[in-house]
Amino acid sequence: MRPQRFKFCLILLLLTGCHENDETPFSPVSSSLSTMIPDGPVINEIMFAPLQSSRDALPDQPDYIELYNTGPDPSDLTGWVIQDCPSASGRRYTYEFANTPSGRNILAPGSYAVIVPEKSPLLQESRLQETFPRIATSGARVFIVDRSRFSLNNDMDCVVLKDAMGTVIDSVAYNEGWHSPYILETRGRSIEKFNPLLRPQLQGSWSSSMDRYGGTPGERNSVYLPANKLTRNPSITVSPSSFTPGDRVAGIELHLPSGAYQLGVTIYDVSGNAVRTLAAGLPAGPETRIEWDGRDDDMQPVPSGIYLARAEASGSGRSAILEARIVVAR
């Protein structure tokens, strides 16, 4: 088979297709930002379809709800509750998570709280810490509800956050279609907001967690972008742009606007031959880092010289082709 070739040049090409659905991951999010949610705690991440099976030896994930305080002032969560949608019979589950007044109920500005059902009141004995070990050092407030699981449906449901007076502070009506369309198995992955200030009711504000554990309870979301970068133009950076294999690797970083993507990343030599495929159909979020160790597809070291990293990102009618030079020095 003849190797794939193309003209060696550095280009940045953004092809934008039309899309009429304002709630798709690739739709513009400026409409979401035009109406900012009130200062204070908001729903920032939801695990509604955890991996739980008695037929494997893996620990069961818990479902959980993460809050983030967007406001400038501390919030006292004492007496606050979360609810799901009413069932066909009108029944609605209410989960009280901060009944007893305590200093631990205070959620500082820019801080996270995680509400999780567990049979043990101790975090160190919880499924949350077993399956998401970074929670132990995250500094987040963890509120354990004494039960085995929430009643959140795997296909669609809602999460409502109410304060001690019964006032609705935030609400989300999600469905499984809010996950990235490029992830085949979404069980065991949470949905995360691209930015806590986005309107929670819009599908375009959310996507699947890209974290290796399937979620980021108590810490910054894996798909997070600052508000001023949500609609940015795609770009690529390589660091270092010149490296000696064995001592270092080249980190290829893709910076995309908010959305769910499928990536292909290939390394070409100066003659236009494809020497290494680093990604093909890789599900990704707005920020992705892929490393190249200076080897070809047969895992043989490539000669010294100039190479080109070519990345293709696509999703929901849009595609971006991004290229950057890499120098291999031996």
- Helix, strand, coil percentages (3-state) for the chain, rounded to 5, are 10, 40, 55
Specify the range with the lowest mean pLDDT, choosing from 3-12, 37-46, 244-253.
3-12
According to CATH, the topology of domain 30-224 is Immunoglobulin-like (2.60.40)
Tokens of 17: 């297709």
Task: Decide if domain 12-18+231-328 falls under CATH 2.60.40.4070.
Answer: yes
* Percent of the chain surpassing pLDDT 70: 88
Q: What is the pTM of this model?
A: 0.87
The answer to whether 36 and 197 are in contact (CB under 8 A) is yes
CA distance 307 to 210: 28
pLDDT digits (tens, 9 = 90+) for 269-292: 999 999 999 999 999 999 999 999
Give me the amino acid identity at 178: W
Q: Do domains 12-18+231-328 and 30-224 have the same CATH topology?
A: yes
pLDDT digits (tens, 9 = 90+) for 182-222: 999 999 999 999 999 999 999 999 999 999 999 999 999 99
**Span 110-138, mean pLDDT?**
96
**Span 53-79, mean pLDDT?**
92
Q: Domain coordinates of the chain in residue numbers?
A: 12-18+231-328, 30-224
